[in-house]
Amino acid sequence: MRPHKHKMIHSLFLINCSGDIFLEKHWKSVVSQSVCDYFFEAQEKAIDVENVPPVISTPHHYLISIYRDKIFFVSVIQTEVPPLFVIEFLHRVADTFQDYFGECSETAIKDNVVIVYELLEEMLDNGFPLATESNILKELIKPPTILRSVVNSITGSSNVGDTLPTGQLSNIPWRRAGVKYTNNEAYFDVIEEIDAIIDKSGSTVFAEIQGVIDSCIKLSGMPDLSLSFMNPRLLDDVSFHPCIRFKRWESERVLSFIPPDGNFRLISYRVSSQNLVAIPVYVKHVISFKENSSSGRFDVTIGPKQNMGKTIEGVVMTVHMPKAVLNMNLTATQGSYTFDPVTKVLTWDVGKITPQKLPNLKGIVNLQSGAPKPEENPSLNIQFKIQQLAISGLKVNRLDMYGEKYKPFKGVKYITKAGKFQVRT
Amino acid sequence: MFGNGLSYSEQGAEAAPELVQEAAPTTTPSAPAAFGLFSSDTKKNEDLKQMLESSKDSAKLDAMKRIVGMIAKGKNASELFPAVVKNVASKNIEIKKLVYVYLMRYAEEQQDLALLSISTFQRALKDPNQLIRASALRVLSSIRVPIIVPIMMLAIKEASSDLSPYVRKNAAHAIQKLYSLDPEQKEMLIEVIEKLLKDRSTLVAGSVVMAFEEVCPDRIDLIHKNYRKLCNLLVDVEEWGQVVIIHMLTRYARTQFVSPWKNDEVVEEYSENNFYESDEEQKEKDRKVKNTYTMDPDHRLLLRNTKPLLQSRNAAVVMAVAQLYWHSAPKSEAGIVSKSLVRLLRSNREVQYIVLQNIATMSIQRKGMFEPYMKSFYVRSTDPTMIKTLKLEILTNLANEANISTLLREFQTYVKSQDKQFAAATIQAIGRCATNITEVTDTCLNGLVCLLSNRDEIVVAESVVVIKKLLQTQPAHHGEIIKHMAKLLDNITVPVARASILWLIGEYCERVPKIAPDVLRKTAKTFTNEDDLVKLQILNLGTKLYLTNSKQTKLLTQYVLNLGKYDQSYDIRDRTRFIRQLIVPNEKSGALSKYAKKIFLAQKPAPLLESPFKDRDHFQLGTLSHTLNSRATGYLELSDWPEVAPDPSVRNVDVAESAKEWTGILGKTKKEKPAEKFYSESEEEEDESASTGSSESESGSESEKEDKEEGSSDDSSGSSSSEASSDSESESKESAAKKTSRAAAENDSENIKRKAKGISKESSTSGSSDTESISSEESSSDSKSESDSKSDFESGKSRSPASSKKEEKPVQDRKVPNKQDVYLLDLDDFCPVTTPVAVPTAAVLSPSVTADLEGLSLSSSSVIDVTTQVSVPTKTHELLHRMSGKGLAAHYHFSRQPGIFGDRMVSVQVTVTNTTDQKIENIHIKEKKLPPGMRMHEFNPIEYLEPAGSITVSMGIDFCDSTQMASFQLCTKDDRFDVNIQPPVGELLLPVTMSEKDFKKEQGMLTGMNETSTTIAVAPQNSTRLVIIERIVKAANLGVVPSGHDNILRFAAKTVHSGSLMLVTVEMKESSTAQLIINTEKTVIGSVLLRELKPVLSQG
């Protein structure tokens, strides 16, 4: 008989950026921390944290890791397993921490180590996911609040629920039972992001719109919602929260669902690539380095383009300058800029664009003396936001609620943002 | 570290007692890090021990929290074991949970002490709270102590029959744990797996398949009978279970179906249109006709039911479906996965990494799949290098004549990237494009030559290497480039590049006759300082020149050979000796030296520039092995398609077997069970309709449809699904089905419970009675004909019996002739399922939504619904003793099925047995002597009963909510016997569900006269909640009302005839007494019921 190895996740180590293992959890027999040495080795080899390979093979184990919020979640695996299964699960763990503690940081985890342990215990049994839905977990283990921790410390009562969440047994595992609100509200945020690569000459190499609908649903009872769009054909590829009835979408292009309670992502979608993507901003740039001189010129102007008459705000430009750059002497007509001489990152916080007076950042780039002229100009990464606009033109038609008698308050908000928006220079 | 450093802490205690003072207790578990490591631990532990001994829960909890903090940090807390384990039975649930955490961590190390806790878990396994049962099983099975294996085995067996699917899910998990603790248990565990595979709960499915994969992945035979069920319920399984099931089904498909690829080569290249057009199936059919390949309908079922999961938010699910399509779908269909995979590239870098790797492998074999998405693989300067290289890899795979110019323009940007590693990779990519696409070879070569003047050495070096490879493919025209590269040698320092240049000059020295000797001269000078790689190439260059141009280079070469002879590297010394023997003629040199020129200057094949992902395709996509490009432990090879398909009928559920069960229950009317609707085993239905030709007028079109589908694979379903209307129908069905799954779970567990009690007959009958009109929709989930979906919709309605009160009669009438039709087959009782139907009053809602809401409203709205019976009493009553019946015996029992014959009738099942040795003919009912108001619906005459034969028939009696007897005569061809049926009052009820709130409201209206109560001394064995519930619902047909209070149990029912509410409350008091309260306006029945329930609780 072959020596039996345990499938799925065997152990989990949380490691901070300075390489301290600050939490470990084993679902089967204990694996020594020394297994992480292989991880540290790989980490050293990688240029930066982003390049640490997510899957590492060691003589007796496999390490599958994710990097989130300055923490490495390193899981120890013994046998064949779909790597995405583990990766997706680890992210779900990080999401849960974020959800429970407001942030997924080392401090938050250390401060709530007991809850963290209880959560990990519920989320994984014998290395196999058990309960990962936030609605269910919150019924099993109450999130910490200041008030509750005070009460608990006085009364000695617990954070652990003593009845099994009904959801586990119902056909709607994502919704807890007995939800009650005095104000019944349903909010939908349609958030679209423009991913684009703009080339040197200002023409679009690649652009597409990715969107999500994030919902905040606070409705009593068991509401059954239908959300329809004016122009559902725009949505080319959609991925759903498990609550959505797939067949109904297939046949009628209506989102029909019994929502989880609270905040959740209803769908993510990609807008059909046939549609031309409007690019709301343009960037004029002159970045040049003179041969045999230790300085260069930097001059960037950002202006509105196809912005549908809306204001472009929250504009931020980040540039990873070449290594040879020592510092930068710039003047911004609007907003403020910083240059970090260590990481060589230039950040220009522009704010709102007013078409009358276009924001401009201009000045001198100082290079290390003797260093050769940089080969390539850096790409400019632009962020922006446009309120009350879904750039694809997607519009919610109506929201209907069945199954409950009260009249909920409904709201839809549109917002367009830059996604991975890059201008090559 | 000190993870298992027990000795450390002891040592520390002796070594540093003076530090003890410092270790003041602190509430934050992270604090200890600040203190002296060893000593403070020990001191802390002392103080933790005290806290654990304390009488206050808060102190204990505090201590446990700190201990968990220690465990989390990997510190050793094992010496606290005795103190902790004492608290395992704590009443405080959080202390208990933390003790569990501790036990799981240390039980293995302290086996003897761990055994102390076992009895607590054994007790908890019987707890009425399913959460506690589940977690007890979880912890018990996580304690890796071999001595408790038998206890674990027992616990798993029991839990696998638990009422709660959550507990059964945990049982499935425990199987794997026990197996890894003791592989000897394999056979027994397989039995449990086999049983749980039959489970219809979506909660259990993923976990049991996981256990299957772990314990007996080779027992594919266990899957056959469950295959269709798994396919059908896949969409509703939780996402992690979906991944496991899909992977398992991929292997299943590869062993059980024939290859859909064999005749597929013609259409190998994917064209996008194929997949998004509605006539997709049609095309496929055409092709099939041509190629005479017909896909097994079960194969199609798998592909069809997994497709929606491409829309999952979980990347692992999407990838699982993608690999399923890749490995088992016709090649022309695999394309539908690309869009979803590309979508995943928006996700975090780890997901991107894995997905890109898989796309890289796919794109080598089938460019077409991803070509439309080429731009999604464009690289951004902010991508991590590993992502950039993977994208580049894919772009290179996608390159063809049409897109190469666009790509090269893009590559130009990449070459200039600040990320030099990536720039180098880009140059390699350009080289590959140049060799693969001859049209652009020259362009690429020129581009690369330009790069030779790049400032960055890595770029130049990489270019040199790539150019070298390119030139080998067509050296004829490139003398100029070689000259150019020779000049580079003065500046370039990267060894690989220098070596490449030297090799090139040596290889083509006859094309550059002037330069080559000069290069040798220069490099001879620097020989001693060169890298080994370069030295070898200098030797090579010298040799080749010696052979072609010995006049000019003889001395130089000898000089180099002399240098090599005394080189530090033995490799170079060896090579020198070898070359000298070959080329320098002397007396000892053998025949080989004559051929030296041929040997060294032979035409060498140009190197192939290939993708590093080329040979990964032999690993299953989406696996760890694929990612690592090496076999991971436990990797299961995907088998090749079988030449001939194994017997497809193994997936059918055995017709004969089911039929046997059915014949036994002739005349027994069925109440439709929502439970089965959801997981309906389509195969059962198909077989039934096909083999028996069961021809109820209503289901005619339906069974026809099915027949068709069976015959022609299910292509038809695909095409019909394109109609919007039928689709919407199907949706309504599906959602209706979804909604009822809760009821399903209950019902289901009920079955199991009964089975466990060994009443196998009952359970098997109800087990097989499940699927009726329902299942057709599952089996042909896309092909909804009007009638099909309609009947289903109706059946959906019938699940809310409160609304199903009216128009009973007409349906009944219609039934009668039908029954006659199929009488011989004894299957008539499967037809009436859709009988009690009334359209619900909530007309405002669209039908589909209403259907949805039926199931949901149960818990939240104040509607009072009749539910399915909670328990079926096993007690049978004698109707006719065989002595007085001349060999004919009859028994009856109450089947607790509402409204089969009429909403006011109580259903009674009569089992007639022939104990004579002759046929008894024409058994029927006559001479009813009923009190006024009472009615009876007789069973259909039994034509004959074979000797020793037995038959069960159903009848309905309206007792008018009284306990008066129903007297009648049971007649045979020759005899008449007076018999009577007297109902226990508990059978005059129908259970209803209502919320606790509604219960209280109703109770408030039924006080005073309408309330009777009594105090009972409860027998000790009846003191737990679960037992009481069980005993009460067995005694009377009551529905359990959820109660927020542990000591109060509530039950509700209504009387069958008048529908008056009957509310029962059991309030547990101290010193094992209980208050029993009944509220009802039917005071007589109320008090009778009170009297009957009393002994139920007081007696053991």
pLDDT at B892: 86
Of A322-331, A348-357, B757-766, B1008-1017, minimum mean pLDDT range: B757-766
Q: Are both A9-155 and A185-277+391-423 of the same fold?
A: no
At residue B778, the pLDDT reads: 42
A43 touches chain B (CB under 8 A): no
Q: Which residue has the higher pLDDT, A68 or B824?
A: A68
Max Cα-Cα span within chain B: 134
Q: What is the pLDDT of residue B669?
A: 39
Digit-coded pLDDT (tens) for B368-390: 899 989 999 999 988 999 999 99
Q: Which of A14, A56, A126 to mutate to test the interface with B (most CBs of B within 10 A)?
A: A126
Pairwise CB contact (< 8 Å): A251 & B311: no
Question: Picking from B15-19, B75-79, B359-363, which range would have the lowest pLDDT averaged per residue?
Answer: B15-19
Query: Mean pLDDT lowest for which of B181-190, B458-467, B669-678, B742-751?
Result: B669-678
Count, in order, helices (H) and strands (E) of chain B.
Answer: 47, 16
- Interchain contact, A85 vs B243, CB within 8 Å: yes
CB interface of A with B, residues 244-283, below 8 Å: 245-248, 250-252, 256, 258, 265, 268, 270
Q: What is the pLDDT of residues A44-74, one digit of tens each?
A: 988 788 889 999 999 889 999 999 999 999 9
The pLDDT assigned to B490 comes to 83
Contacts of A61 in chain B (CB under 8 A): none
Which band of pLDDT confidence, cut at 50, 70 and 90, is reported for residue B701?
A: very low
CATH 3.20.20.150 fits A9-155, yes or no: no
CB A132 within 8 A of CB A92: yes
Q: B-contacting residues of A 229-248, CB under 8 Å?
A: 236-242, 245-248
Spatial neighbors of A64 by CB under 8 A, at least 6 apart, are: A54, A55, A56, A74, A75, A77, A83, A86, A87, A90
> Residue B787 and residue B935: Cα distance in Å, rounded?
34
User: Minimal Cα distance from B376: which residue of A?
Assistant: A206
**Could you tell me which residue, B260 or B755, shows the higher pLDDT?**
B260
In which band, very low, low, confident or very high, does the pLDDT at B810 lie, cut at 50, 70 and 90? very low
Distance CA B787, CA B790 (A): 5
For chain A, the 3-state helix, strand and coil shares in percent, each to the nearest 5, are 20, 40, 40
CB B52 within 8 A of CB B80: yes
Decide whether B110-256 matches B988-1098 in CATH topology: no
The mean pLDDT of B41-56, rounded to a whole number, is: 77
**Residues B5, A8: Cα–Cα separation, whole Å:** 28
Say whether pLDDT at B266 is over 70. Answer: no
- A7–B210 C-beta distance less than 8 A: yes
What residues have CB less than 8 Å from B45, skipping those under 6 apart? B9, B77, B79, B80
The pLDDT of residue B310 = 93
Q: Is the pLDDT of residue B27 over 50?
A: no
Residue B325 CA to residue A10 CA, distance in Å, equals: 30
Residue A134 has a pLDDT of: 84
d(CA B562, CA B549): 19
Instruction: Give the containing element (helix H, strand E) for A188.
Output: strand A185-198
Pick the more confident residue, A317 or B811. A317
B941-967 residue pLDDT tens: 888 888 878 888 888 888 888 878 888
Q: What are the domain boundaries of chain B?
A: 110-256, 307-372, 877-983, 988-1098
pLDDT over 90 percentage in chain B? 17
A402 to B855: CB separation less than 8 angstroms, yes or no: no
Residue range B1081-1088: average pLDDT? 82
Q: State pLDDT tens for residues B89-143.
A: 888 878 888 888 888 888 888 888 888 888 888 888 888 888 788 888 988 888 8
Q: What tens digit of pLDDT does each residue of B1048-1057 get? A: 888 888 888 8
Is-contact A28 A6, C-beta < 8 A?
yes
Q: Where are the domains of chain A?
A: 9-155, 185-277+391-423, 281-387
Residue/partner pairs of B881-885 with CB below 8 Å, 24 or more apart: B882/B913, B882/B915, B884/B977, B885/B970, B885/B975, B885/B977
Q: Nearest-CA residue of chain B relative to A25? A: B72
B991 forms bridges with which residues in the sheet? Answer: B1053
User: At A332, which amino acid appears?
Assistant: A
Question: B836 is written with which tokens?
Answer: 């009690």
Contact A422 B381 (CB under 8 A): yes
Give the model confidence (pLDDT) of A216-273 as tens digits.
999 998 899 999 999 988 888 899 998 998 888 988 999 999 999 888 999 999 887 6
What's the CATH number of domain B877-983, 3.40.50.300, 2.60.40.1150, 3.40.50.720, 3.40.50.880?
A: 2.60.40.1150
Contact with chain B for residue A160, Cβ under 8 A: yes
Residue A403 Cα to chain centre, angstroms = 33
Q: Where residue B899 falls among pLDDT bands split at 50, 70, 90?
A: low
Distance from CA of A80 to the nearest CA of B (A): 5
Name the average pLDDT for chain A. Answer: 87
Identify the band that residue B800 occupies on the pLDDT scale cut at 50, 70 and 90.
very low
Distance CA A52, CA B316 (A): 21
pLDDT of residue A338: 94
Residues 306-345 of A with CB under 8 A from B: 320, 322-323
Rg (CA), chain A: 25
Give dist(CA B948, CA B919) in Å, integer: 9
By Cβ distance, the residue of B142, B166, B734 closest to A245 is B734
Distance CA B214, CA A80 (A): 11
Shortest CA distance to A397 belongs to which of A264, A252, A277?
Answer: A252
In 3D, which of B1062, B1071, B1076 has the Cα closest to residue B1028?
Answer: B1076
Average pLDDT over residues B455-479: 78
CB A190 within 8 A of CB A227: no
Q: Report how far Cα A118 is from the mean position of its chain's Cα atoms.
A: 25
Which backbone phi and psi does B612 adopt, to 5 degrees? -65, -10
Measured CA to CA in angstroms, residue B538 lies from B308, B522, B588, B749 at distances of 62, 10, 25, 81
State the Cα–Cα distance between residues B36 and B19, nearest whole angstrom. Answer: 7
Interface touch A245/B630, C-beta < 8 Å: no
CB B1073 within 8 A of CB B1016: yes
Does the domain spanning A281-387 belong to CATH 2.60.40.1170? yes
CA distance A307 to chain B (A): 24
B92-101 confidence digits (pLDDT tens): 878 888 888 8
Taking only the tens place, the pLDDT of each residue in B844-894 is 434 444 334 333 333 333 344 455 455 566 678 888 888 778 888 888 888
Is the CB of A406 inside 8 Å of chain B's CB atoms? no
Q: From CA B423, how far away is CA B854, in angstroms rounded? A: 62
Across B10-19, B717-726, B893-902, the highest mean pLDDT is recorded for B893-902
Beta bridge partners of B639: none
Residue B16 pLDDT > 70, yes or no? no
Residues of A in contact with B100 (CB under 8 A): 121
pLDDT score of B171 more than 50: yes
How far is the alpha carbon of A356 from chain B, nearest alpha carbon, in Å? Answer: 32
- Give residue-wise pLDDT tens across range B471-521: 877 766 677 788 888 888 888 888 888 888 888 888 888 888 888 888 899
pLDDT at A145 over 50: yes
pLDDT digits (tens, 9 = 90+) for B277-296: 444 444 544 444 445 678 88
The more confidently predicted of residues B459 and A224 is A224
Query: What mean pLDDT value characterizes chain B?
Result: 74
Fold of the B110-256 domain: Leucine-rich Repeat Variant (1.25.10)
Determine the average pLDDT of the residues in B912-924: 83
3-class DSSP state for residue A244? strand
**CATH number for the domain formed by residue range(s) A185-277+391-423:** 2.60.40.1170
pLDDT of residue B799: 43
Query: Token digits for A253?
Result: 């292009």
- Cβ atoms of A419 and A210 within 8 Å: the answer is yes
pLDDT of B673 over the 60 cut: no
Q: Which residues of B touch A240 (CB under 8 A)?
A: 311-313
**Interchain contact, B349 vs A54, CB within 8 Å:** yes
Q: What token pair was written down for A89?
A: 């699960």
Which residues on B lie below 8 Å from A88 (Cβ)?
Answer: 314-316, 351
Give the CATH class of B988-1098.
Answer: alpha beta
Q: Which of B146-150, B563-567, B678-682 has the weakest average pLDDT?
A: B678-682
| Phi, psi dihedral angles at A236 (to 5 degrees) | -90, -50
